[in-house]
Amino acid sequence: MTDILLAVLIVELFPLLLKQYKKQVIFFCILVSMMVLAYSFGYLSQSSLLGSLRILETIIFALTCTYFLRRKSSYAIIRSGVSFSLLYTGILAIIQFILQQSAGGVWYWLGERTFDLTTPGIAAFSVDGTLILRSYATFAHPNVLGGYSLVMVVFLLFFKHAGTNPRVILFEKAGVIAGILAIILSMSRSSLMLLGLIGVVWCLTYMVTRKKQVLTLVMGVIALVVLSYTIVWQRLLSFSIQEQSVLVRRELIKETSIMIRDNPIFGVGVQNFLPTLTHYLPDSSPIAYFQPVHSMFLMILAETGFVGAGIFIVMVAVTIMKIQKSRAEDKAGKILLLVIFIALGIIDHYFYTLHQGQFLGAFLFAVLLM
């Protein structure tokens, strides 16, 4: 459904995109033609062709988002849409956490999966011997929920409001609060630590400049006291290198490194990581080991080799140069978004492997290029 909607949007906007991004659009058209030819002559598998087209689709979506973010009228609509999305995501996360299972009902038709604490492979954590479910909302994993909420909270907090209407501003603030709650209930350690970083930067760049240093200090002390007595703090301190998830990640990194060594130039092909992994893991490996390596950068290296990784590095470098030319008031937010992208990319893979993650990454880069 997302692909169909995006295809309609791109077709409708094609003349405008061609006018604004002529070189990029022509390059993409040539690239797609080459991929189709490679598939026709048997040099590219169906899976790799579809995966490569999905990546190009994501890049075009990023350019489309940038086009709309640069327009004042659509910028306002996007901010309202993000606020609404964070609100219903946060509400669903709260319901799931209270029920300790999926909410069901109308939420199922809005994208929620059906699960509870007994579902095999469900994400949960233990506090004093009690197993607690981590909220998923409508995402594939709580870590994705945390990453999505982080990006959108930064977008609402660190970039200018679309107007001065107090109702709109209040609606955006409600979205920020819902997003923060979603991050906390996802219990994603990486997202929680990055949320702390966001709080520090926001206090330094906004509260201090508005001469509310004392209020900032008091709020910070209260937050630390409250945090120290909550399950959030226990979750952060419960990390162990002997955890099953850590052991799985270590094993996957080891096997992926060998895979990269064996296929250094062009990799094993887009979306070919898991089929290839079966040749590297022992036959006796548990089913939990058959998953993407938890690093976007290692996944890109494994599937596209140094050629694909080089293109990706150039893309990030160009983005950094664009950030340096941004308006002063936008730089803090853009640097934070880039830090979030790199930090989450080092320890997780969803920006590259999941459909939701790809669109989230596209929107993040659109804001950076805004």
| More confident of the two residues 248 and 115 | 115
CA angle 32/36/38 to nearest 5° reads 115
Q: What is the spatial distance between Cα 352 and Cα 362, in angstroms, rounded to a whole number?
A: 10
Q: Which two tokens stand for residue 210?
A: 């508005």
Query: Please, which pLDDT band fits residue 156 given cuts at 50, 70 and 90?
Result: very high
**Does the structure show a pLDDT above 70 at 32?**
yes
**Does the structure show a pLDDT above 60 at 314?**
yes
- According to the model, what pLDDT value does residue 368 have? 94
Q: Which two tokens stand for residue 163?
A: 């107007």
Amino acid making up residue 165 = N
- Domain regions of the chain by residue span: 2-239+326-368
Give the tens place of pLDDT for each residue, 161-219.
877 788 888 899 899 989 998 998 998 888 888 888 888 777 777 665 555 555 555 55
Contact 188, 147 (CB under 8 A): yes
Name the 3-class secondary structure at 164: coil
**Does the structure show a pLDDT above 60 at 47?**
yes
- According to the model, what pLDDT value does residue 326 have? 86
**Does the structure show a pLDDT above 70 at 114?**
yes
The pTM for the full model equals 0.87
- According to the model, what pLDDT value does residue 23 have? 79
**Does the structure show a pLDDT above 60 at 264?**
yes
CA angle 294/258/31 to nearest 5° reads 70
Mean pLDDT, the chain, integer: 85
Give CA separation, 289 vs 110, 240, 245, 293, 355, in Å: 30, 19, 10, 9, 21
Residue 370 makes CB contacts below 8 A (sequence gap 6+) with 66, 69, 70, 159, 330
Give CA separation, 124 vs 81, 127, 235, in Å: 30, 10, 11
- According to the model, what pLDDT value does residue 228 have? 53
**Does the structure show a pLDDT above 60 at 15?**
yes
Q: Which two tokens stand for residue 39?
A: 């598939």
